[in-house]
Each structure stands twice: as C-alpha cells, then as structure tokens.
A = this chain, B = another copy of it.
Amino acid sequence: MERRNTRQRQQILDTVRALDHPDADEICAALAGEQPRAGRATVYRNLNLLVQQGDIRRIETAGADRYDGCLRPHYHLHCRCCGRVFDAHMPVVEGLDKQLQDTDGFAVEGYTIEFIGLCPACIKLKSGGR
C-alpha cells in the first residue's frame, strides 16, 4: 500500500526521537504548539504505523504504552512507581535465545531485558516525602 509523507507523520516521528520514551499523551502535549497540530487520533494512528514499519519500538507499560525512537538493541530501566522508562547502560547480551530449551512451537524473534525499580525522582518522593 502506498504511503504518503504528511507533515504530521514526520512531526510525530521526530517527537518520539526527541523525547525520552514518551507515551501518547506526552507526544500530543509536545505537538500542541506545532503548525498543523496533530489530533489524538492521528497520533495513535501514526504511532501504530511507525511501529509496524519498524521506525520506532513500542514499550508495553502499565497505564499507557511508551515509544522508543532508538532502534539499536538496548535494555530498559522501568520505574514501578511513576511508570517512566530509562535506558540501561550495559552491553547487549548475545545468544540468550540459544539457552531456551523447549519453546513448544513458539517462534522466538527477539528478546529484551527489563530492570525494575525506582527512578531518582520517585526515590526522592518516598524519602523526603511530600
């Protein structure tokens, strides 16, 4: 199917790349001031399209999904309190799928590692309080 090049689509892609693992809402907010400000539906439609095309990655998260404009293999730190996602600084582990012993017919295409914990902001909230 033919794919056209609209300003909205380009803006949304640029925004995902510019922000740090934004969710749909943060993308809409960032686009608020733009020329032909993209509506919510357009943002969602294009996020799905860009994910399908492989231009961005979707990070499934509680509440709202987040999006990652960086395609290099890497892992994430996921804050269990605010839900935000950060990049983990560590070498990529190769061949983890080789350790799978029996996938019962499941076709493994890739894998990711997710570290869970608290981000600096949420640590501050818990301790200092208020």
Question: Residues of A at under 8 Å CB distance from B?
Answer: 58, 60-62, 65, 77, 79-80, 86, 88-91, 93, 96-97, 99-120, 123
Contact = CB atoms under 8 A, between A and B. Distances in A.
5 contacts: A60-B62, A77-B108, A93-B99, A105-B123, A113-B113
- List the number of copies, as a whole number: 2
A103 B118 contact: no
Contacts of A90: 99-101
A109 B116 CA distance: 6
Closest 10 pairs between A and B when the two form their complex, measured CB to CB? A105-B120, A109-B117, A111-B115, A108-B117, A89-B101, A89-B102, A90-B99, A107-B118, A60-B62, A107-B117
Contacts of A107: 117-118, 123
Contacts of A118: 106-107, 109
